[in-house]
Structure 1
Amino acid sequence: MPDKKTLLIVDDEPVNLNVLRTILSDDYELLFAKDGQRALTLANAERPDLILLDIMMPAQSGYEVCAALKASSATRAIPVIFVTALSDVDDEARGLELGAADYITKPVNPAIVRARVRNHLSLVHLDELKSTRLAIVQRLGRAAEYKDNETGMHVIRMSHASQIIALAAGCSQSWAENLLNAAPMHDVGKIGIPDAILQKPGKLDSHEWEIMQRHTTIGAEIIGDDGSELLRMAKAIALGHHEKWDGSGYPNGLRGTEIPLEARIVAIADVFDALTSERPYKSAWPVDDAVQYIRNESGRHFDPDLVQ
């Protein structure tokens, strides 16, 4: 059986604590505090998964406790649900503005309390899964860079450049943020390319070049099919960032808007950073020269609308 989640219940009235104990004790581990200072101490020491907080308490109100919780990096991520007799809309608005996740008025309905607690814990779990998935994506991107003898800074620079290009092209903030987080996976397929080819100091022969090109399809296979927008975008980037606007790229010879937008953007950012970075086999280009190269390749390698 999985461990029970821990809730901190804060109320200066023992009757109210007992009501919530009766409603929640079967499903959760419970901690109790009768004042704000004790609540803050327990929150910092025990890191509960969720806090149910009264507002009208002596010495320190629930509003003050919530503000203190949200001001601390150790506790700001813990969801707070106000449980209070204050039913005015302005009171509720104030609580939500302070960072509370929800607001329940007394007398409480047991079914509603259980449902609200369960829902907010589920949201926390989803946020944790999203953070974990993002961390895995970033680490795989870094792994590919180390395989290719890079410092890992390339993926950071080109990812931020991709986000800037996306915003300049009119993409939404959320889409551009997904692109920022997916772009580090563009060369993850290099994990599957032999070191003798990746690190060869000279020009690749035709057979070696054919193997090198497989990093796009290997990358797409590593990422696989997933329902998340982030990984769907990462797969499209891994597979398509070496396609060219005129159809002369690889692996599928896609042309124009057949190439996913995210791959077209990353293609520009990737080449620009490669040109302006020093490598063992070349000096860094001046930025103006790199920009001119991108412009010269507009309509051939790169999407002309994005280049503009």
Structure 2
Amino acid sequence: MAGRDVHIPVMLDEAVEGLAVRENGRYLDGTFGRGGHATAILARLSAEGRLFLMDRDPTAIAVAETGLATDPRVSLRHDNFATMGEWSALHDGGLDGILLDLGVSSPQLDDASRGFSFMADAPLDMRMDTTRGISAADFLRDAEEAEIADVLWTFGEERFSRRIAKTIVERRATAPITRTGELVALVTSCGVRREPGKNPATRTFQALRIRVNEELSSVETALAAALELLNPGGRLSVISFHSLEDRMVKQFIRSHEGRVQGSRRAPPKEAPPARLKPVGKAIFASDAEVAANPRSRSAVLRVAEKLA
């Protein structure tokens, strides 16, 4: 099952089970991708149920338009899931479940022309939404050395961030860095060491992708909007693929559990009202799933339920 536009949904059963789908409920898949999770949700809905789909990738939207979006129970919107709070249709009746499958999809990685992968030489783009925003090449052309280093350290946890940033700025003074192959060669030339089997540019590519697509700020905004849109008893099911995302999701759920936040040395505080409760513990892909789909190796699923 390799090739362009093939996407194996990660933890399909677990993520959809976490939503506890009711047949006449209202659900949002904020990351349609190629529709694996959405198809499973729709199969559980009656004629009275509603499924709302979002994706920022115009290619994913095109797939939805000729597929699931032809179902009268489905509504589609081309936008970042961070804007879910601006979709008026979601406020009319609220939502009984929201699914977010974070990160980059397999079709995006496998399409070399998108510039997400260091496995093939291609234009250095990395935008999930190719209709707006700046590309990774644009960022590397215009950003100050300190900003590049900060992005690599913060979003890629790249310990060679300053060395790489310095080399990028030196290199672009001669010629712009516009292709993935050029960036891989540049990072490799910096003497970056990775675990056996890992490309030296792995963390650099992750960091640039997160920065170009504003992924972490989008997650932060989306989580806050999801809490307001969910009806009491509604479920939030989020699949993360790296520790930065998962930490945000975990801390968001914890911050709304009604726990007292503060220091033992400070005066005692009154616990805020509880608005969310975690449903079970974090779930990881099974050994069988990882064997069938290695990209699920780093996935973490967290589910929470909105309280009355």
Q: Same fold judged by TM-score > 0.5?
A: no
Larger Rg: 1
Higher relative contact order (CA 8 A, sep 6+): 2
Pick the structure with more strand per residue. 2
The bucket for the TM-score relative to the shorter chain is: under 0.3
Query: What is the TM-score with the length of structure 2 in the denominator?
Result: 0.25
Query: What is the TM-score with the length of structure 1 in the denominator?
Result: 0.25
